[in-house]
Amino acid sequence: MMQDDERWMREAIAIARSKGSDPSTSPLGCVIVLDGKIIAGERNQTHELPDATAHAEMMAIRRACEDTGELELRGATLYSTLQPCGMCTMASIWSKVGRVVYGAGRDDVHPMYFEAKHVDTLAFIHDAYRDDIVIEGGCLKAECAVLYYGPDAELPTDEQANL
Ligand SMILES: [Zn+2]
């Protein structure tokens, strides 16, 4: 299982890096796997579209639903290079994926990647009305964390996504 997780996370990392891996290009990648196959793989596309909701996980969930013709992604696992933000965590709950696996966690990166100061998005999963969804972090954590600004990076305010 862990080897499979690492295999799929490597795919998510490759997608994250597909347009370069400079942190300023927001290299976030996500793949959704069902029955041993990738049914969607997307990169963050907020700047390109432009669409503030076009996070990698949102785009992958949309693509997976479009391609399967299904509203629900039961039995699927969503792999994300970074702990999903609140929006993407809620979208994972709504899409009915069974598992969320992420690489770098909230404490491994700059706070710019999250919207809430004190609410950890993990709490959304633990507090969800669903009891058939799990979230696990730290898969290829080091490889994922190097894609992002570190916890103590000194960034100009106009580079900080959540200001
Ligand atoms: Zn997100």
84: CA distance to ligand 1 center in Å?
5
Size of the chain in residues: 163
Residue 2 has pLDDT above 80, yes or no: no
Residue 75 alpha carbon to ligand 1 centre in Å = 21
Residue 25 confidence (pLDDT): 85
- Measured CA to CA, the distance from residue 69 to residue 139 in angstroms comes to 29
Report how far ligand 1's centroid is from the alpha carbon of 44 (Å): 9
Ligand 1 centroid distance, CA of 58 (Å): 7
**Ligand 1 centre from 99 Cα, in Å?**
16
* pLDDT band, very low/low/confident/very high, at 142 (cuts 50, 70, 90): very high
Please give the positions annotated as active site: 57
Under 8 Å CB-to-CB from 88, ≥6 apart: which residues? Answer: 55, 56, 57, 58, 80
Domain ranges of the chain: 3-149
pTM for this entry: 0.96
Distance between CA atoms of residues 134 and 84, nearest Å: 13
In the predicted structure, residue 28 carries a pLDDT above the cut 80: yes
Q: How far is CA 135 from CA 36, 70, 125, in A?
A: 18, 22, 7
Q: Which residues surround ligand 1, an ion (CB under 5 A)?
A: 55, 85, 87-88
CATH number of 3-149: 3.40.140.10
Q: Which amino acid is at 44?
A: N
Mean per-residue pLDDT, 98-126:
94
Residue type, 141: K
Burial class (CB in 10 A: 0-12, 13-18, 19+), 38: middle
Q: How many Å apart are CA 108 and CA 79, to the nearest integer?
A: 17
